[in-house]
Structure 1
Amino acid sequence: MTPQRTARPARPRLDDRGDVPGWVLVTLMTAGLVIALWAVAGPALTETFDTAISRVTAVRP
């Protein structure tokens, strides 16, 4: 019968600074996605906002 091994918690590496290039890529891709969506939906959103404001300000007692 072999003795059972107990799992020891992994020691953190002192030189591990994270995945910086990955975070930069995620940030740039998110910014690009926002710009692309704004280019497509921007005019429709602006028109919707202008219509809503004009309806609210057009109501007079």
Structure 2
Amino acid sequence: MLKELLNDDRGDVPGWVLVTIMTAGLVVGLWAVAGPRLAALFTAAMDAVVGQL
């Protein structure tokens, strides 16, 4: 009984590894596309705040 329970989870680790790698790849891809735009947006917002002081 215990041996059967231990053998049932053998396929879960590669699936979770794949999901993690795919998520990391998606984040890196989105960051590469949106990063410069977000940096420009942040700089413009900080310039507006600093300009009001």
TM-score range for the pair, normalised by the shorter chain length: 0.7 to 0.9
Q: Of the candidates 17, 21, 40, which is equivalent to residue 9 of structure 2?
A: 17
Q: Extract unaligned runs of 5+ from structure 2.
A: none
Q: State the secondary structure of the residue aligned to 1:40.
A: helix
Name the counterpart of 1:45: 38
For these two proteins, the number of residue pairs brought into alignment is 50
Residue 34 of structure 1 aligns to which amino acid in structure 2?
V
Runs (4+) of structure 1 exceeding 4 A deviation are none
TM-score (norm: length of structure 2): 0.81
Look at both structures and tell me which one has the larger radius of gyration over its CA atoms.
1
RMSD: 1.8
Q: Extract unaligned runs of 5+ from structure 1.
A: 1-10
